[in-house]
A and B are shown apart, each in its own frame.
Chain A
Amino acid sequence: MTLVLFIGDMLIMAFMIAIVVWLSLRSTRAVLDAAARIPLEDEDRDG
């Protein structure tokens, strides 16, 4: 049972790592730079 859980979890991890690698390769420099600037341009203060 423990072996099944372990192998199952490792397979899920491999799947998720593949998604991250895919997402990372998909993102362009411009997209990442724009995302990084979100906190710097998120308020219109009045008062």
Chain B
Amino acid sequence: MGTASYQDRIVTAFTACAMFWAVLGMLAGVYVAAELVWPTINFGQPALSFGRVRTLHTTLVLFGFGVSALIGTAFYSVQRTSHVRLFAPGLAWFVFYAWQLAIVLGGCSILAGWNSGKEYAELEWPFDLAIAVAWVAFAIVFFGTIARRRMESIYISNWFYGALIIVVAMLHIVNSLAMPATLGKSYSLFAGAQDAVVQWWYGHNAVGFLLTGGFLGMLYYFLPKHAEQPIWSYRLSIVSFWAFVYTYIWAGPHHLHYHAIPEWVQSLGMVMSLILLAPSWATMVNGIMTVSAASQKLRTDPALKFIVLSLAFYGLATFEGPMLAIKSVNVFSHFTEWTIGHVHSGALGWNALITFGTFYFLVPRLAGVPLYSARLANVHFWLALAGVMLYVLAMWGAGVSQGVLWLSLDELGEVRFSFNDVMAAMKPYYLLRFVAGLVFLVGAMLMAVNLARTFAGRRTIEVAPPGSRVGAGGRT
């Protein structure tokens, strides 16, 4: 290996694991979607019950797929935008093994019934400690690389990845503060409404800084790289970054409208959510304008198609979120499937598609060969689009139906429809959601095969910072 070449083996390892967790996590999601249509398929086994498999699904797709993709792409882009190799490569490999081990053992613990009861933070305290250690190691490698950079400017993608690292560390540590009772059970240090506020400060900012900020880091590096165009307005990207950081941290209380928390906190959460529309759409416009300069490439390149489609869903989800945060809308939408549809228009439409587009670009570059099948990638594109559209439409239909039925009162002011009536009305929507998830999963499986075949034909390639000398031999 040339001493100056970038360290990309770790990027390959994270990418491979991210694809593995994507398929497994989405499979778990399709299974729980099927359980809502055919409840008996849990076969009376606690490990296959909805509560456990649904938690496994969110853990695998968020932390297995999403975070593995984020760490891998952060390691790839921070070296290049700093013109240096990774700082402390041994520590970077520690991050890889620690993170994957935490996902494997954490997933098993969820199926065994260990659960802290905090949404998107269900793993119990031993895993919380392990995650904190791995995350700090990630921070050391990332910021150490930036500290050694040979460039004057810190590129915008690194600001987003940096915000992801700092804020998620803060959220995870504070929200996980707990008193262990046994190895598999702990109790939060916060109680009642305070616990709810801390939980949704964590929950919404995990959405903000992990699923939005982190993936914007991915977008700001890989979109210009792939479009072979600089970002349309660099100044706009900086302004939208800071506006995003300032406002997002306040938006969490919109999850607790009409709950036992101060009224002004709820209203502030709503107002900050509405303000968030400005930086979100500024980013979307910046991305679309960057792509518009490479419109010829868009016609033939499946990776770029995924990235553009992800921007459209980013715009949609970041419009829908602030609307759902308006208190008068929230009366109707809260606790309905509309929220699930909103989450998935972001998670599938934005996070998964931007990652798919990035991987279709990244893996051929890591392997030093063209993509195994562009045709298969195009099939995947249409399956992904069909899957996410069907999913979102099914959940919108289900959510609006639930909202109407729940708020429907009879002449005595009593609710007109029972729980069973509402559940019976959900069956066609739940069936459609299962089909949508299956279509999306099949697309992801095709992608995994396509990328594996691409990597199987890899050849030796050295990639180094511009102007540096590369030694002979070896794979990077």
Asked if residues B155 and A46 are in contact (CB atoms below 8 Å), the reply is no
Asked if residues B242 and A44 are in contact (CB atoms below 8 Å), the reply is no
- Does A20 reach chain B (CB closer than 8 Å)? yes
Residue among A36, A42, A45 making CB contact with B83, cutoff 8 Å: A42
Give the complex CA separation of A10 and B80 in angstroms.
36
Asked if residues B231 and A36 are in contact (CB atoms below 8 Å), the reply is yes
- Does B225 reach chain A (CB closer than 8 Å)? yes
Asked if residues B224 and A47 are in contact (CB atoms below 8 Å), the reply is no
Given contacts A33-B234, A36-B234, A38-B81, contact A44 B153 (CB under 8 A): no
B231-250 vs A, Cβ < 8 Å mask (1 yes, 0 no): 10011001100100010000
Distance to closest chain A CB from B190 (angstroms) = 15
Residue among A17, A32, A41, A46 making CB contact with B235, cutoff 8 Å: A32
Residues of A within 8 A of B229 (CB): 40
Residue among A2, A16, A27, A44 making CB contact with B464, cutoff 8 Å: A44
Give the complex CA separation of A20 and B279 in angstroms.
15
Asked if residues B238 and A44 are in contact (CB atoms below 8 Å), the reply is no
Give the complex CA separation of A44 and B465 in angstroms.
6
Question: Within residues 7 to 47 of chain A, which ones have a CB less than 8 A from any CB in chain B?
Answer: 13, 16-17, 20, 23-24, 27, 31-47
Count A-B contacts at CB 8 Å: 81
Give the complex CA separation of A45 and B5 in angstroms.
9
Q: What is the size category of the interface that chain A forms with chain B?
A: 20 to 34
Given contacts A42-B81, A47-B368, A47-B460, contact A16 B242 (CB under 8 A): yes
Residues of A within 8 A of B80 (CB): 39, 42-43
Give the complex CA separation of A6 and B250 in angstroms.
10
Asked if residues A45 and B462 are in contact (CB atoms below 8 Å), the reply is yes
B29-64 vs A, Cβ < 8 Å mask (1 yes, 0 no): 000000000000000000000000000000000000
- Does B230 reach chain A (CB closer than 8 Å)? yes
Residues of B within 8 A of A42 (CB): 80-81, 83, 465-466
Interface of A is mostly: helix
Distance to closest chain A CB from B458 (angstroms) = 11
Question: Within residues 60 to 96 of chain B, which ones have a CB less than 8 A from any CB in chain A?
Answer: 77, 80-81, 83
- Does B468 reach chain A (CB closer than 8 Å)? yes
Distance to closest chain A CB from B57 (angstroms) = 34
Asked if residues B464 and A46 are in contact (CB atoms below 8 Å), the reply is yes
Distance to closest chain A CB from B264 (angstroms) = 8
Residue among A16, A35, A36, A41 making CB contact with B466, cutoff 8 Å: A41
Residues of A within 8 A of B156 (CB): 35
Residues of B within 8 A of A16 (CB): 242, 246
Question: Within residues 289 to 306 of chain B, which ones have a CB less than 8 A from any CB in chain A?
Answer: none
Distance to closest chain A CB from B238 (angstroms) = 7
Distance to closest chain B CB from A28 (angstroms) = 11
B190-227 vs A, Cβ < 8 Å mask (1 yes, 0 no): 00000000000000000000000000000001001100
Residues of B within 8 A of A31 (CB): 153
Chain A residues with CB under 8 Å of chain B are: 2, 6, 13, 16-17, 20, 23-24, 27, 31-47
Q: With contacts A24-B239, A35-B155, A47-B462 known, what are 16 further pairs, Cβ within 8 A?
A: A16-B242, A20-B238, A23-B238, A24-B235, A35-B234, A36-B224, A38-B151, A38-B155, A39-B225, A40-B225, A43-B80, A43-B466, A44-B467, A46-B462, A46-B464, A47-B461
